[in-house]
């Protein structure tokens, strides 16, 4: 697994095992490129397998509206400052049909009129969860509970936490945008 044009803090050429070759093949076939986080994780096969299972399980969660989930994840990635997550997240969510105007609104959500009131509250909550110290308030949660049931609120919270882990891991390892968003029909703005 290799990737070019990165300034990663870890080599992106893990040992060529059956696992890393299979992940590389799947990644290139599915996403058109080797995902640099997978290449980095290839140095720790058990971790890589655990992460793959985890991501697969996350993809099956369905208690939260997909657009709300995408906006929350994008907000967390933007707040943490993970260019890889923003890049890949933009591409994935645009492939899933999320309105690009909503994605563009995330970095400047306070000034944008592209988001509904609920979407604004979700983005605000994800941003507050992603700051240090965390800025979540009782009022934020109460406002979300007006529109989300408990299962959706827990899923939202967990997805933001998961994106924080992804974003902080990628950023710490020096993984940067791979140009996925460049494949979208709309120009990057975040």
What domains can you pick out in the chain, each with its CATH number? 18-60 (no CATH), 66-173 (1.20.1290.10)
> What is d(CA 136, CA 132) in angstroms, rounded to the nearest whole number?
11
With a CB cutoff of 8 Å and minimum separation 6, the contacts of 99 are 67, 114
- Which pair of tokens denotes residue 76? 């967390």
Contacts of 13 (CB under 8 A, 6+ apart): 1, 2, 39
Task: Give me the numbers of helices (H) and strands (E) for the chain, helices first please.
Answer: 9, 0
pLDDT of residue 1: 46
Rounded CA-CA distance 85/144 in Å is: 25
Q: Compute the distance between CA of residue 155 and CA of residue 6 in angstroms, rounded to an integer.
A: 33
Gap between the Cα atoms of 47 and 16, Å rounded: 16
> What pTM was computed for the model?
0.90
List of the chain residues with pLDDT < 50: 1-6, 185-190
d(CA 78, CA 71): 10
User: How buried is 20 (Cβ within 10 angstroms: 0-12 exposed, 13-18 middle, 19+ buried)?
Assistant: buried
Which tokens go with 63?
């208690």
Determine the pLDDT at residue 184: 60
Tell me, what's the pLDDT at 182? Answer: 76
**Cβ contact 118:68 at 8 Å:** yes
Q: What confidence score (pLDDT) does residue 95 get?
A: 87
pLDDT of residue 188: 40
């Amino acid at each position: 697994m290799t990737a070019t044009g990165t300034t990663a803090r870890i080599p992106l050429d893990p040992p060529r095992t059956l696992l890393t070759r299979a992940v590389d093949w799947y990644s290139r076939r599915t996403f058109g490129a080797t995902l640099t986080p997978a290449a980095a994780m290839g140095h720790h096969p058990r971790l890589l397998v655990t992460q793959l299972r985890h991501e697969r399980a996350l993809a099956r969660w369905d208690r939260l509206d997909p657009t709300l989930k995408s906006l929350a994840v994008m907000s967390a990635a933007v707040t943490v400052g993970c260019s890889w997550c923003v890049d890949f997240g933009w591409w994935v969510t645009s492939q899933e049909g999320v309105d690009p105007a909503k994605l563009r609104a995330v970095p400047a959500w306070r000034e944008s009129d592209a988001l509904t009131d609920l979407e604004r509250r979700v983005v605000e909550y994800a941003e507050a969860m992603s700051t240090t110290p965390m800025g979540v308030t009782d009022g934020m949660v109460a406002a979300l509970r007006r529109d989300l049931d408990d299962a959706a609120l827990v899923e939202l919270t967990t997805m933001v936490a998961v994106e924080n882990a992804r974003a902080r891991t990628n950023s710490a390892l020096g993984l940067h945008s791979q140009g996925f968003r460049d494949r979208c029909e709309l120009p990057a703005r975040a």
